């Protein structure tokens, strides 16, 4: 049995996530405390007691999802499961790439929290509210969605932001261009084209100011080579050097999240089970649509963790 560990992105956040782990395991509590201290605020209070609206703010959701993922990793470690010897690859969807890198030792938890707060604020500030938008095109393959985005641009920005597999591609850019893409997609046979309730047009060139901020932030943080290869969003291929990772994280702000290709790469390279670490089961659903032969496991609770550790031990 060979495992790849995957880490969710924005959209998986729910109020109360991670609270059960924090109540049962001091190792999980320590992760949330470290994130709170690094940010100089009680983010854990927002995660467990705040409103969904407050938690969904980009600057909160990004470090919050990372905290839950890393608390899960801390519990796995406490139960004797070591990422370096268990995982063949790590990968994360958009902000989840930072969680994956923290789990693999490239960043400290505190540095990851600060980087994600900076990233969230920079992405929010890059485009005035109302000027940008994102939409999910359902029922078109990636090449067809790319063509739709290109035709819809008409001198504005419209790009494929996320290739999520299973005929789901998210486009991002100027609001009018994204609206045109929805109409074009329907005309080209898309089952649905849905405008997404997001606060900014992520993963397109409108995010260039945020990419510049992240280049500066990443230049000033200490990084180690990961203990497990990272399958990078912008490459859909593994990288192992801290310098290369720094470059790819900057590119990721404006580049396409190549999730479909990343999943296919990991499965093709021998990862038979893709383990979703943290909040929700969004990535597990995507994996099943992309690679039907792959097994999935979502670690959302202490019960999930126990079952996974038992399965790993039984297979070894």
Judged against a pLDDT cut of 90, whether residue 27 lies above it is answered with yes
Facing residues of 295 across strands? 273
- Residue 72 phi/psi, 5° resolution? -65, -45
Q: Which two tokens stand for residue 159?
A: 């790009």
- Tell me how far the alpha carbon of residue 308 is from its chain's centroid: 21
* String of DSSP letters for 21-63: HHHH-HHHHHHHHHHHHHHTS-HHHHHHHS-HHHHHSHHHHHH
Distance in angstroms (rounded) separating the CA atoms of residues 265 and 153? 30
pLDDT tens figures, 135-194: 999 999 999 999 999 999 999 999 999 999 999 999 999 999 999 999 999 999 999 999
Whole-number Cα distances in Å, 59 to 11, 240, 255, 272, 282: 13, 28, 20, 34, 21
Mean of all residue pLDDT scores within the chain: 96
Percent of the chain exceeding pLDDT 70 equals 100
CA 181 – CA 174 distance, rounded (Å): 11
Question: Quick check: helix, strand or coil at residue 99?
Answer: helix
Q: pLDDT class for 199, splitting at 50, 70, 90? A: confident
Looking at residue 6, its pLDDT comes to 98
Would you state the pLDDT for residue 182?
Answer: 98
Superfamily of 3-126+206-315 according to CATH? Malonyl-Coenzyme A Acyl Carrier Protein, domain 2 (3.40.366.10)
State the chain's maximal CA–CA distance in angstroms: 57
Residue spans per domain, the chain: 3-126+206-315, 132-198
Residues near 173 by beta carbon (within 8 Å), at least 6 away in sequence: 132, 133, 149, 153, 156, 157, 158, 159, 181, 201, 204, 206
Beta-carbon contacts of 45 under 8 Å, excluding residues fewer than 6 positions away, are none
What is the C-alpha separation between 106 and 56, in angstroms, rounded? 26
Element (H, E) at 4: strand 3-7
**At how many degrees (to 10) do helices 208-219 and 109-125 cross?**
160
**Which residues are CB-contacts of 154 (< 8 A; sequence separation ≥ 6)?**
177, 180
Q: What residues are paired with 238 via a beta bridge?
A: 231
pLDDT digits (tens, 9 = 90+) for 64-85: 999 999 999 999 999 999 999 9
Cα 90 from Cα 271, distance rounded (Å): 10
Take residue 288 and report the two structure tokens written for it: 């099943």
Q: What average pLDDT does this structure show over 271-298?
A: 96
Q: Is-contact 263 282, C-beta < 8 A?
A: no
- pLDDT tens string 220-234: 999 999 999 999 999
Sheet strands side by side (includes 87-92): 238-239, 230-231, 87-92, 3-7, 273-277, 295-299
Per-residue confidence at 316, pLDDT binned at 50, 70, 90?
confident
Which residues are catalytic, by number? 94, 203
CA pair distance 300, 104, nearest whole angstrom: 19
Question: What stretch of H or E contains 2?
Answer: none
Q: How would you list the strands of the sheet with 158-165, edge to edge? A: 158-165, 168-174, 132-138, 192-195
| % of the chain exceeding 90 in pLDDT | 96
Q: What is the mean pLDDT of residues 91-96?
A: 97
Average pLDDT over residues 45-64: 94
- In the predicted model, what is the mean pLDDT of residues 265-293? 96
Residue 315 pLDDT exceeds 90: no
The highest-level CATH class for domain 132-198 is alpha beta
C-alpha 207, offset from chain centre: 17
Instruction: Band the pLDDT of 18: cuts 50, 70, 90.
Output: very high
Q: Residue 198 above 90 pLDDT?
A: no
């Amino acid at each position: 049995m060979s495992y790849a560990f995957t880490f969710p992105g924005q959209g998986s956040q729910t109020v109360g996530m991670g609270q059960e782990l924090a109540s049962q395991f001091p190792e999980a509590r320590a992760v949330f405390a470290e994130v709170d201290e690094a940010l100089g605020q009680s983010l854990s209070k927002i995660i467990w007691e705040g409103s969904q609206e407050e938690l969904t703010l980009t600057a909160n959701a990004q470090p919050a999802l990372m905290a839950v993922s890393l608390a899960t990793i801390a519990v796995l470690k406490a139960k004797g499961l070591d990422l370096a010897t268990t995982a063949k690859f790590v990968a994360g969807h958009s902000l989840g790439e930072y969680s994956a890198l923290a789990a693999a030792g490239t960043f400290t938890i505190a540095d990851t929290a600060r980087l994600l707060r900076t990233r969230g604020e920079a992405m929010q500030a890059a485009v005035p509210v109302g000027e940008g938008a994102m939409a999910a095109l359902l029922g078109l393959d990636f090449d067809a969605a790319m063509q739709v985005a290109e035709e819809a641009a008409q001198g504005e920005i419209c790009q494929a932001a996320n290739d999520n597999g299973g005929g789901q591609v998210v486009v991002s850019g100027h609001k009018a261009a994204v609206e045109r893409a929805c109409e074009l997609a329907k005309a080209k046979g898309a089952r649905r084209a849905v405008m997404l309730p997001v606060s900014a047009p992520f993963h397109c060139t409108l995010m260039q100011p945020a990419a510049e901020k992240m280049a500066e932030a990443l230049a000033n943080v200490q990084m180690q080579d990961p203990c497990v290869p990272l399958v990078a969003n912008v490459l859909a291929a593994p990288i192992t050097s801290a310098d290369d990772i720094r470059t790819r994280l900057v590119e990721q702000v404006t580049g396409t999240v190549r999730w479909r290709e990343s999943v296919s790469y990991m499965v093709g390279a021998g990862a038979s089970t893709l383990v979703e670490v943290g909040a929700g089961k969004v990535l597990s659903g995507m994996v099943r649509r992309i690679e039907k032969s792959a097994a999935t496991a979502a670690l959302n609770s202490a019960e999930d963790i126990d079952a996974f550790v038992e399965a790993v031990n039984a297979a070894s």
